[in-house]
């Protein structure tokens, strides 16, 4: 059976535009939280989020890409990943075996929201053709296919906050089954006021800082950004002389359906997700050297994820470094697990485990090694990336150094 490898990575995050700046921030434990600027939060009790800052595109590209800011984030991350893979710039036809898979939660709701606000100038009896063109989630894959000439299968994953990992799982299957040679895969989301309001009304948002696994954690912080991976069949990548960053060893999916928002109290769905991923990857629990935890900072999610990790890994669970990079960049919704998959590949590359920042008071119920506050050097060869979404949609991916 063929292998699936990663040959390119791209990032736009609240702590940096591009791989280099983002990784430096992760390694240094920088906090991307700030006061909301996208819309007025005076009527809310929470006023902070993790918005993308200092984003830029080349002038000529700024004029080419649609007015949709999310499209610009995805374009930047995709171009960066393609440049690293060596596939950028090849505009020839015949890319019918090059596919696209993107995970998102809300796509780009903000132009649509602007139509509904007072004092908005409406055209054509209230119908704005630009909004109609960029609002649908599939406009993301359409834009990428158009600019990079990917002519193969495409897919949008709308599985809530595990959408990115679900997209990666889809890509893995297409490559393993020899349906495609290359897949541009990842996730992207912004912070629409609709989603901010939704989580605010659920009382799920922290007012000041995200503190995953801390005893006094108050909730999640919404973030935004994009993460892209170039995944290829190993034979295809080898034949074209590509530099290989990592291998995707497998994935696990489950849906416990316990509750629309709350996880199963004993982590049943998360256990199945991680166990299925280990089985597909033909790995033992002892093979895993790092877990990029879902780690939202909400009381129930962090507690049940800890329970699930202990159930799957047994005594080895206490020896595995874990961390929540959401403590730095917030919860990127449908983009979260895709961005975190990029981070996992960077951990394999650099041998540094990013920290869980804002950690102050240990919680006896979350007593794993959460890499508190400071990054750690570690020669890691196999990594688990967890993503657990509303409705019990669980998705775990495993990355490792190519053997």
What mean pLDDT do residues 201-219 have? 95
**How far is it, in rounded angstroms, from Cα 363 to Cα 395?**
25
* pLDDT tens for each residue of 150-194: 999 999 998 888 999 999 999 999 999 999 999 999 999 999 888
- The predicted model gives 104-129 an average pLDDT of 58
Poorest-confidence range of 40-44, 123-127, 307-311, 329-333? Answer: 123-127
Q: Is 161 a catalytic residue?
A: yes
Whether the Cβ atoms of residue 202 and residue 296 lie closer than 8 Å to each other: no
> Exactly one of 50, 71, 161, 166 is catalytic; which is it?
161
User: Which one from 294, 344, 366, 382 is the annotated catalytic residue?
Assistant: 294
- pLDDT tier at 120 (50, 70, 90 boundaries)? very low
pLDDT score, position 119 = 46
The full 3-state SS of the chain, as one line of letters, equals CCCEEEEEEEEEECCEECHHHHHHHHHHCCCCCEECCCCCCCCCCCCEEECCCCCCCCHHHHHHCCCCHHHHHHHHHHHHHHHHHCCCCCCCCCCCCEEEEEECCCCCCHHHHHHHCCCCCCCCCCCCHHHHHHCCCHHHHHHHHHHHCCCCCEEEECCHHHHHHHHHHHHHHHHHCCCCCEEEEEEEECCCHHHHHHHHHCCCECCCCCCCCECCCCCECEECEEEEEEEEEHHHHHHCCCCCCEEEEEEEEEECCCCCCCCCCCCHHHHHHHHHHHHHHCCCHHHCCEEECCCCCCHHHHHHHHHHHHHHHHHHHHHCCEECCHHHHCECHHHHHHHHHHHHHHHHHHCEECCECCCCCECCCCCCCCCECCCEECCCCEEEEEEEEHHHEEEEEEEECCC
Which range among 105-114, 115-124, 346-355 has the greatest average pLDDT? 346-355
pLDDT value at residue 131? 55
The percent of residues above 70 in pLDDT, for the chain, comes to 88
Does residue 212 register a pLDDT over 70? yes
Q: Cα dihedral angle (86, 92, 97, 100), rounded to 10 degrees?
A: 70
**pLDDT: which is higher, 223 or 139:** 223
191-202 pLDDT tens trace:
988 888 888 998
- β-pairing, 48-49 vs 34-35, is antiparallel
Task: For residue range 21-53, list pLDDT tens digits in order.
Answer: 999 999 999 999 999 998 899 999 999 999 999
pLDDT range class, residue 222, cuts 50, 70, 90: very high
- Given a contact cutoff of 8 angstroms between Cβ atoms, the answer to whether 191 and 142 are in contact is no
Closest Cα to residue 331, out of 167, 160, 169, 203? 160
Q: Quick one: which of 400, 346, 385, 392 has its CA closest to 27?
A: 346
pLDDT for 389: 85
71, 166, 264, 331: the catalytic one is: 331
Give the pairing of strands 98-103 and 182-189: parallel
pLDDT at 125: 46
Per-residue confidence band for 139, with pLDDT thresholds at 50, 70 and 90? confident
Average confidence (pLDDT) over 78-104 = 87
Q: Measured between alpha carbons, how far is residue 207 from residues 51, 64, 189, 273, 352 in Å?
A: 15, 38, 21, 31, 30
331 labelled catalytic: yes
Model confidence over 246-279: pLDDT tens digits? 999 999 999 887 666 667 778 899 999 999 999 9
The pLDDT value recorded for residue 256 is 81
- Share the mean pLDDT of the chain: 90
Q: 88 catalytic, yes or no?
A: no
Res 63: pLDDT = 64
């Amino acid at each position: 059976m063929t292998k699936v490898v990663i040959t390119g990575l791209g990032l736009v995050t609240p702590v940096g535009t591009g791989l280099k700046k983002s990784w430096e921030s992760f390694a240094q434990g920088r906090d991307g939280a700030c006061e909301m600027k996208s819309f007025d939060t005076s009527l809310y009790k929470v006023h902070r989020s993790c918005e993308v800052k200092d984003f830029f595109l080349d002038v000529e590209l700024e004029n080419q890409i649609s007015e949709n800011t999310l499209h610009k984030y995805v374009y930047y991350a995709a171009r960066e990943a393609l440049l690293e893979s060596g596939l950028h710039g090849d505009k020839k036809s015949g890319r019918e075996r090059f596919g696209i898979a993107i995970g998102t939660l809300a796509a780009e709701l903000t132009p649509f929201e602007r139509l509904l606000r007072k004092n908005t100038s409406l055209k054509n009896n209230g119908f704005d053709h630009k909004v109609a063109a960029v609002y649908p989630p599939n406009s993301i894959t359409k834009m990428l296919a158009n600019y990079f000439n990917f002519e193969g299968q495409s897919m949008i994953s709308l599985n809530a906050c595990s959408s990115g990992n679900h997209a990666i799982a889809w890509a893995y299957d297409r490559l393993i089954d020899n349906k495609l040679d290359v897949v541009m895969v990842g996730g992207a989301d912004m912070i629409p006021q609709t989603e901010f309001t939704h989580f605010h009304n659920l009382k799920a948002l922290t007012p000041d800082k995200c503190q995953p696994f801390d005893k006094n954690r108050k909730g999640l912080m919404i973030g935004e950004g994009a993460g892209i991976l170039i995944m290829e069949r190993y034979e295809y990548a080898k034949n074209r002389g590509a530099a290989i960053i990592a291998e995707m060893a497998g994935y696990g999916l489950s849906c416990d359906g316990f509750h629309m928002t709350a996880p199963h109290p004993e982590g049943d769905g998360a256990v199945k997700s991680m166990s299925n991923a280990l089985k597909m990857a033909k790995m033992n629990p002892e093979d895993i050297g790092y877990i990029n935890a879902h780690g939202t900072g909400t009381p129930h999610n962090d507690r049940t994820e800890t329970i699930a990790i202990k159930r799957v890994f047994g005594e080895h669970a206490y020896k595995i470094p874990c961390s929540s990079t959401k403590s730095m960049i917030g919860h990127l919704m449908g983009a979260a697990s895709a961005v975190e998959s990029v981070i996992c590949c960077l951990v394999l590359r650099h041998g540094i485990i990013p920290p869980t920042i804002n950690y102050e008071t240990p919680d006896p119920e979350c007593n794993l090694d959460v890499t508190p506050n400071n990054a750690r050097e570690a020669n890691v060869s196999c990594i688990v990336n967890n993503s657990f979404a509303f409705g019990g949609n669980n998705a775990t991916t495993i990355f490792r150094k190519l053997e």
